Amino acid sequence: MSTGAVDPPLTEDADRVVVGRVGRAHGIKGEVSVETRTDEPERRFAAGSTLFTRAPGGAVVPGRLTVGSTRNHQGRLLVRFAEFADRTSAERARGTWLEIDVAPGERPEDPEDFYDHQLIGLAAVDPQGRPIGEVVRIEHNGAQDLLQLRLGDGRVVLFPFVTALVPEVDVDAGRIVVDDIPGLLTAE
pLDDT (tens digit per residue) in 122-147:
999 999 999 999 999 888 766 788 89
Single out the residue of 46, 39, 34 nearest to residue 77, CA to CA.
34
**Burial of 87 from C-beta contacts in 10 A (0-12 / 13-18 / 19+):** middle
Element (H, E) at 179: none
Q: Which of 90, 72, 79 is nearest to 44 (CA)?
A: 79
- The structural domains of the chain, ordered by start, are 15-102 (2.40.30.60), 120-177 (2.30.30.240)
Average pLDDT on 28-54 reads 89
Q: What is the pLDDT of residue 142?
A: 63
Q: What angle do CA 146, 148, 154 make, to 5 degrees?
A: 155
DSSP 24-87: EEETTTTEEEEEE-SS-HHHHT-TT-EEEEEPPTT----SEEEEEEEEEETTEEEEEETT--SH
Cα 141-146-147 angle, rounded to 5 deg: 150
* Phi, psi of 176, rounded to the nearest 5 degrees: -135, 130
Mean pLDDT of the chain: 82
**DSSP conformational letter for 173:** T
* Residue range 25-53: mean pLDDT, rounded: 90
Q: How confident is the model at residue 106 (pLDDT cuts 50, 70, 90)?
A: low
